[in-house]
Amino acid sequence: MAFPIPSLEPARVIAGDTIQWTRSLHDYPAGDGWTLAYTLINAAGKVTIAASAQGDDFLINVPAATSALWSAGDYTWRAQVSKAGQIFTVASGRITIEPAFSAATLDDRSAARKMLDAVEAVLGNRASSEVAEYEINGRQLKYLSIPDLLKLRDRLRFDVQREDAALAAAQGLPPPNRIFVRFGR
């Protein structure tokens, strides 16, 4: 069974997937010689996608092998048509490229969980260090105090527990911090 190709630019795609959509531009039909190209850009890089003519419409088709090379992240995109030296921007927006599931370096922890792990690592290392600050050539470095780190750790633990509860609710599971008791035989 073939699925219809969407006719809008996607808001999210996954690197390593085949990505397809169509675009109709009545003022710039492909049949009249107009070409369409998309440019996705962020601080990490730029991706260019050329559309192909499909009658008067445009087909955007990115093979899985091509999208597998894309870096994950949020991108700003622009769609531009061109013909005989004329170029017009016809659309723009934002798109998120999610990492391929097979990516060896996929770290899908939330920001709160990453921070909690980092604070706990600092606390673990701090237990063996007596130095709270030092100075070299007029440059000073001060560490957060252990009470401040403990406060931050507690706040981050609460944030992570909230995330875990929301994930459990989204999956139809009971909240992880609730204890169920059954009375009877």
d(CA 10, CA 168): 28
Q: What is the pTM of this model?
A: 0.59
Does some domain include residue 60? Answer: yes
Residue 41 falls inside a structural domain? yes
Q: Which of 56, 71, 98 is the last residue of a domain?
A: 98
Per the structure, how many domains does the chain have? 2
Instruction: Summarize pLDDT for 53-95 with one digit per residue, the tens.
Output: 999 999 999 999 999 999 989 999 999 999 999 999 999 999 9
Domain range holding 77? 12-98
Q: Would you tell me how many other CB atoms lie within 10 Å of the CB of residue 80?
A: 16
Whether 122 is covered by a domain: the verdict is yes
* CB-based contacts of 22, cutoff 8 Å, min separation 6: 5, 6, 7, 54, 57, 58, 59, 60
DSSP 59: E
Write down the mean pLDDT value for the chain: 87
Has residue 155 been placed in a domain? yes
- How would residue 103 be classed by pLDDT, with cut points 50, 70 and 90? low
Q: What is the pLDDT of residue 121?
A: 87
Claim to verify: residue 82 and residue 29 sit in the same structural domain: yes
pLDDT at residue number 104:
57
Classify 67 as helix, strand or coil.
Answer: helix
| Co-location of 92 and 19 in the same domain | yes
Q: What is the pLDDT of residue 141?
A: 72
β-pairing verdict for 86-98 and 73-83: antiparallel
Q: Check whether 135 has a pLDDT greater than 60.
A: yes
Neighbours of 19 (CB within 10 A): 21
176 within a domain of the structure (yes/no): no
| 158 in the same domain as 119 | yes
Highest mean pLDDT among 28-32, 110-114, 123-127, 175-179: 28-32
**H-state helical runs in the chain:** 64-67, 111-126, 146-170
